[in-house]
Amino acid sequence: MRKIRLGVLGSGSGSNYQALHDAISRGELDAEIVMVMSDIPQARILDRAQAHGIPQAVIDCCGFASKFPESAQRSVAQTMLGTGADLICLAGFMRLIKRPLLDAFPQRVINIHPSLLPAFPGLAAWQQALDAGVTETGCTVHYVDEGMDTGPIILQEKVPVLREDDAHSLHQRIQQAEHRLYPRAVDLLRVRLLG
């Protein structure tokens, strides 16, 4: 079975991109990252990709602060299809994906979210968990649909909420779980898509 080719979209530091890259480097994930794209020109994820010799590009969102216009999605889809990407991995990408990109990669766009979905969708899920007083949260890898964190679940990992946790400490432990879970989920999909 050949390596699965990954396209990555991110808006921030790219720690989940880094986790995928590290899992590949350690030989734990039979994959190749073929393109990294960001809607934020100064995003650290682009610097990480450049340091690893991976092609990277900035997405032109036509001046919109949070909307992901169809023209931009079509452009991303064309770029990713041109790289031969099998799977699109969102890594802290802060815009909602819609039809042009989902149609180009049906059931092949995934996201990692810092909660046990369907609980606590949206922003700052770790703070939502603290505010709700739950004793357990975690992270979820799921297929992306047109909603916010509503697609079918692929894998989850639980993280306990400790009595002494604040937003920072809980977020850190959730991120550690994310960095374990995302490569596992991609490996599972490699078998589903290429097997």
Query: Which is catalytic among the residues 21, 52, 113, 171?
Result: 113
pTM of the model: 0.96
pLDDT at residue 4 is higher than 90: yes
pLDDT at residue 73 is higher than 90: yes
- The CA distances from residue 27 to 33, 34, 48, 178, in Å, are 14, 17, 19, 18
180's enclosing H/E stretch is: helix 167-194
pLDDT at residue 1 is higher than 90: no
**Could you tell me which of 42, 106, 94, 107 has the C-alpha nearest to residue 68?**
94
pLDDT score at 151 = 97
Instruction: Give per-residue pLDDT as tens, 18-61.
Output: 999 999 999 999 999 999 999 999 999 999 999 999 999 999 99
CA–CA dist 192, 161 (Å, integer): 33
Q: Is 7 helix (H, G, I), strand (E, B) or coil?
A: strand
The residues, ordered by sequence, that sit 6+ positions from 185 with a Cβ below 8 Å of its Cβ are: 110, 112, 141, 154, 155
pLDDT (mean) for 3-24: 97
Q: If pLDDT is split at 50, 70 and 90, which confidence band does 179 have?
A: very high
pLDDT score at 106 = 96
Determine whether 113 is an active site residue.
yes
pLDDT (mean) for 138-163: 97
Instruction: Give per-residue pLDDT as tens, 105-129.
Output: 999 999 999 999 999 999 999 999 9
Query: Structure tokens of 49?
Result: 């990709």
| Buried/exposed 123-141: b ≥16 CB within 10 Å, e otherwise | eebbebbbeeeeeebbbbb
- AA letter at 180: R
